[in-house]
Amino acid sequence: MKYLKYFITPALAPVVMVGILLGGHWMWLGLIVLFAIVIGGDILLGDDVSRSEYSHPWLIELPLHLALPFVISMLMSLSWASGNGMQDFLGIGQLLGGVFSYDFLAARNASIWSDYLGAVLGAGFMVAGYATNVGHELIHRVKDRIAMLAGRWLLSTSCNADFAIEHVYGHHVNVCTDDDPATAKRGENVYSFFIRSAVYGHLSAWKYEIKRLRKKGHSLYSIHNRMITGYLMSAFWCLLFFIPGGVFGLVLFLGQALVAKFILEIVNYMEHYGLTRKSGQPVGPEHSWNTNSTMSTMVLFSLTRHSSHHEKPRVKFWKLNPYANAPEMPQGYLTTLLICLIPPLWYRTINPKLNEWEKKYAA
């Protein structure tokens, strides 16, 4: 089980894809299954504060390497679903119809806007939970060019060219200070935070990239600019959706990218909400809200052990400490995310915890 538990997320991606391909109300399948497994699992399984040793690390790394092909397959199914009539992108409908006794084209053509909403939400949550999360893990491996490239391609599915730069060189240095756009201030609601973090985080990434290019003597307008190449990666996805679906295809891709980006910023919001740190003060476990909810830990590749991740950002996910005594989130990740969407409920839930944190840690 200590190996198999990290294969839950790769198993969820095909569920989202199947629902999209089946069309109609089936397009909600992935989102419903994802919510049931993650929230239900957190409730039933409780916390996990164990730290396992792995004698076959390549096996636990395998779900990370499966992320890119699985996410590509899922997005290809959504791209195909943006077509209409007899339009059959890459012959996917004909191919599947020859294997299964189901009219995939007819089911797709009969789908209505509310069905596509389920597809966009399901794809967005999967891109956030699998592509962005694995991308986050890989971009911390700054000396591994293949990992960095795979991580940036995964992040391109949510149009996150800036994240690979600002998160590593900005957020981890400035976390819990006024210089960090990804740290939510006390009393700030998640919607205003989303705008502030997205805008200033993007500008911060440009600042770091310009500084790097000047130091290396590269032109700003060159292939060496990781912001520009990141934009081109996302443009590739836009083209892949525009070919079969035109403007509607673009709407589907950008819609799921927006959902995934919003989820990323909600996660940023709830991971450091209200916590403060003096500039120059070492980053410790107390500067992140942590959770050891079992299902969240398995599905998100131990991102939940965020206190340990910020203390030692280069440590791989399976080596992170649970830190049972770290500041604790109200619930598992997905449940906490939903609470954040209702600001009065969030404040009522988190403020007592934040008050306790301030008594213990605030300067």
pLDDT by residue (tens digit) across 142-163?
Answer: 999 999 999 999 999 999 999 9
pLDDT at res. 280:
87
The percentage of residues in the chain with a pLDDT greater than 70, rounded to a whole number, is 100
pLDDT at res. 363:
59
52 confidence band (pLDDT: 50, 70, 90): confident
Tens-place pLDDT, residues 300-352: 999 999 999 999 999 999 999 999 889 999 999 999 999 999 999 999 999 99
Tens-place pLDDT, residues 167-206: 999 999 999 999 999 999 999 999 999 999 999 999 999 9
Q: Residue 202 in contact with residue 182, Cβ under 8 Å?
A: no
Q: Residue 261 in contact with residue 99, Cβ under 8 Å?
A: no
The three-state DSSP-derived secondary structure of 272-315 is HCCCCCCCCCCCCHHHCCECCEHHHHHHCCCCCCHHHHHHCCCC
pLDDT at 257 over 90: yes
What's the average model confidence in pLDDT over 75-100?
A: 95
Task: Provide the token pair at 359.
Answer: 């008594």
pLDDT at res. 197:
98
The percentage of residues in the chain with a pLDDT greater than 90, rounded to a whole number, is 95
1 confidence band (pLDDT: 50, 70, 90): confident
Amino acid identity of 106? Answer: A
Predicted structure pTM score = 0.96
pLDDT at 78 over 90: yes
Q: What is the mean pLDDT of the chain?
A: 96
What's the average model confidence in pLDDT over 116-128?
A: 98
Tens-place pLDDT, residues 84-96: 999 999 999 999 9
d(CA 294, CA 38): 9
